[in-house]
Homo-oligomer: A and B are copies of this chain.
């Protein structure tokens, strides 16, 4: 896949956000600006882990994991017209299993 062309550095993770629902529960279609930013996404690729005082810290997430992250976490980048986020592993709250 095109986006796997990015190799994140250190403890960074490339995440593809899950599309926000564009319908409310009652079925009303909400316009784009009113959508809440998604907080769930899929790990597309993960860095090698950060180095702390000479010790490499292993990553806790890996490619394919569905992860939760805080709103506004990470840096948005556009690859081949799609939106991705690069964030540090410390911005990831948990893994959805």
Contacts and interface: CB of A to CB of B under 8 A. Distances in A.
Interface of A: 5-10, 12, 14, 39, 47-48, 51-55, 57, 60-61, 68, 70, 75, 77, 86, 89-90, 92-97
A97 B7 contact: yes
Contacts of A14: 94
A24 B70 CA distance: 33
Contacts of A75: 70, 93
Nearest to A4: B97
A77 to B, nearest CB: 6
9 contacts: A5-B97, A6-B96, A7-B97, A8-B94, A9-B92, A9-B94, A10-B90, A53-B54, A70-B75
